[in-house]
Amino acid sequence: MSELYSLQGRFFSAVRNATTGKPGKRTWLGNASAATLAISANKSDKNESFGGSRGLYGSLITGKSGTLNITLDEFLLENLALA
């Protein structure tokens, strides 16, 4: 089963403060005709060694990552300065 969403709205970009983690001044990116988000987690599976069957004992998440791709229909000077 998949979950589909139809989203509309504005895309903003901001530089995150390294100390507080909060975003700074937001900049509107312009009209975005397409956007995709891919989220993944790296995990390490652990197998048991005490029962003889070597079954899956648990999983340890070792990292998370995400990729956002946005197709912009226009070039704004503020956006080029952020690149």
Which residue has better confidence, 17 or 1?
17
Check whether 83 has a pLDDT greater than 70. Answer: no
Q: Give the pLDDT confidence of 12-62 residue by residue, as tens digits.
A: 888 899 999 999 988 888 888 888 889 999 999 988 888 778 888 889 899
Burial class (CB in 10 A: 0-12, 13-18, 19+), 11: middle
Question: What pLDDT does residue 9 have?
Answer: 79
Confidence of residue 1 (pLDDT cuts 50, 70, 90): low
Structure tokens at 72: 């912009």
